Amino acid sequence: MQDYNVFLKVSTRHSLLIKSPSSKIIQKKLLYYKKNMAGRNSQGRICVRHQGGGSKKMHRYVDLSRDICSSLIVLHLERCPIATRSSFIALVSYPFGVLSYVLAPEGIRKGDIIHNYSNSELRRNVRLNVGFSAPLRCMRIGLSIYDVENKPGLGGIFARAAGTSCLLKFIDYDNLVALIQLPSKKFYKVSINARGVYGRASNIYHKRQIIGTAGRNRRSNVRPSVRGVAMNPVDHPHGGGEGKRASGRPSVSAWGKLTKGKPTVSSKRKRLATKRLSIFKQYIHN
C-alpha cells in the first residue's frame, strides 16, 4: 500500500486535499548535500533577492538522460524535498541491481515496469507506454512527452515541472531534426536523436496547493518581499508620498527598469528563431 502524506490547509472552506507520496526507504548513495548560497555569488554579494534561511535538505541524484537500454521496476514514489522540483520522483531498479531516481510520469504506480529504448534503435513507432523513454525518431507525431533533451546525451531540459508536457509536432528524417511545442506554446527545434519520455510529468495538482502559512515559505528558502510603494524615495522609485499615494509612473523595478509590457527578447533574436524554424513553417500554423 502506498504511503501518503496529506498537506493540511489552514482554511478548510476552499481547501483541496493534495496527497503526496513519501518513502520510508532512503538510499544514501543517491543523496548529496548542496550548500545554500542564499542568492549570493562568490564575492558574497546578493544577486537574487528574497532567498535564504531555508531548512537544510538532501538533494537526490536524478537520472534525466535514461540512456541505459533496459527495463526498470518502480520501487516507490516520493516527493523531492527541494522546492525547485515540483514533480514527484520514482526510485527504480535495474535488472542488475542498480538503483536510480527518475522523474515520475502521471499515472505510474509502485510495481509498474518501464523501459528505456537504446540510442541505436532504428525502428519507427515503437511500442510506448507511460514512462517509456526513447529517442524522438522512434516516436510518432502527436505524442505528449516530457523530460525532453535538446541535444543527445545532455539530459532532459524541457517539460520537467509538475503537470507539464511537450507536443511532438513533426519529425524531419532528412535533416535529422524534430519540432516540439513547449508548454509555453512556443515551438522549438531539437535533434531527432534526443530522448524524451512518453507521458506527462506527475503531481498535476501542484499549482492548486495553498501555502497556508508564512512559515512554509520560509522553510522553502523564500524570504519576504517588500512592495516599492511601502518604501522611502531613497530605496525605490515608487516610494514616498503621503498616505497611499500612487507613484505617478509605470511600474518599474528598484533600478528603474519597466516590469510590465516591456519586451524581454531582442528583435534580432526573434528573427534568428524564425529563420531556424523556417523548414517547419507549414506545421507551426496548423
Same domain, 144 and 243: no
Indicate if 100 and 42 belong to the same structural domain: yes
In a domain, 221, yes or no: no
pLDDT reported for residue 23: 52
226 belongs to a structural domain? no
Please say which residue of 198, 216, 251 terminates a domain: 198
Where among 176, 198, 220 does a domain terminate?
198
What gap in Å lies between CA 1 and CA 105, rounded to an integer? 19
Q: Is residue 69 part of a domain?
A: yes
Going by C-alpha positions, the residue among 110, 104, 121 that lies closest to residue 73 is 110
Per-residue pLDDT band for 164 (boundaries 50, 70, 90) equals very high
- 217 domain-assigned: no
> What pLDDT, on the 0 to 100 scale, is given for residue 167?
93
132 and 250 share one domain: no
Average confidence (pLDDT) over 228-255: 88
- Based on the fold, state whether residues 53 and 100 are members of the same structural domain: yes
- Indicate the average pLDDT of the chain: 84
Q: Are residues 90 and 173 in the same domain?
A: yes
- Compute the distance between CA of residue 91 and CA of residue 75 in angstroms, rounded to an integer: 6
Chain segment 246-258, per-residue pLDDT in tens: 777 889 999 998 9
CATH of the domain at 77: 2.30.30.30
Residue that is last in its domain, among 148, 174, 198: 198
Task: Determine the structural domain holding residue 177 and report its residue range.
Answer: 4-198
Q: Does residue 215 carry a pLDDT above 80?
A: yes
* pLDDT of res. 46: 93
Largest Cα separation within the chain, whole Å, is 71
Residue 53: which of 83, 98, 74 has the closest Cα? 83
Instruction: Domain count for the chain, please give it.
Output: 2
Give domain status of residue 215, yes or no. no
Q: Which of 10-19, 82-91, 178-187, 257-266 has the lowest mean pLDDT?
A: 10-19
| Residue 256 within a domain | yes
227-263 b/e with 16+ CB inside 10 Å = b?
A: ebeeeeeeebbbbeeeeeeeeeeeebeeeeeeeeeee
pLDDT bin (cut points 50, 70, 90) of residue 244 is confident
